[in-house]
Amino acid sequence: MSTIPDDLSYTKEHEWVAGLEDGRTVTVGITAYAAEQLGDVVYVEVHSEVGTTVAAGDAIGEVESTKSVSDIFAPVGGEIVEVNAAVADTPALVNSDPYGEGWLFRVRVEEEPEDLLSAAEYTALTSGES
């Protein structure tokens, strides 16, 4: 069983979003469930540079593991304000600390989609898949 923190929002693409309730900038990463499914992450790239504006649902990067590659999506619309350089250097952080040091990027929110999931909803989603 992977952990699913109560205080985050989630997407169907297995990303988490932190900080939605307290402000204009959110942090985004992939969930522990997704990291476990991927296996060892060997390469992370966010193609969209800091300062670019993305729409919710845009594919803005990719995560490669030994066995597969997955797109990284923008869960909200807005300006990319920071990309985690530590993860680019040490992709294994996504496995070892997916909700902490393994965060991927930060967005100044301009558009918040209505279909973000609560922790309970995301738990239901992943228990149906596994």
Question: What residues make contact with another protein under the rule CB under 8 A?
Answer: 36, 39-40, 42-43, 45, 62, 64, 66-67, 69, 95
Rounded to whole angstroms, the Cα distance separating 39 from 35 reads 6
Least CB distance from residue 20 to another protein, whole Å?
30
| Alpha-carbon torsion, ordered 16, 18, 21, 26, to 10 deg | -110
Q: How far is residue 103 CA from its own chain's centroid?
A: 7
Two structure tokens written together for 107: 């967005």
Least CB distance from residue 68 to another protein, whole Å?
8
Rounded to whole angstroms, the Cα distance separating 101 from 119 reads 20
Closest to another protein by CB, 58 or 62: 62
Least CB distance from residue 40 to another protein, whole Å?
5
Closest to another protein by CB, 3 or 66: 66
Least CB distance from residue 9 to another protein, whole Å?
27
Closest to another protein by CB, 77 or 102: 102
Look-up of token digits 């304000």: 81
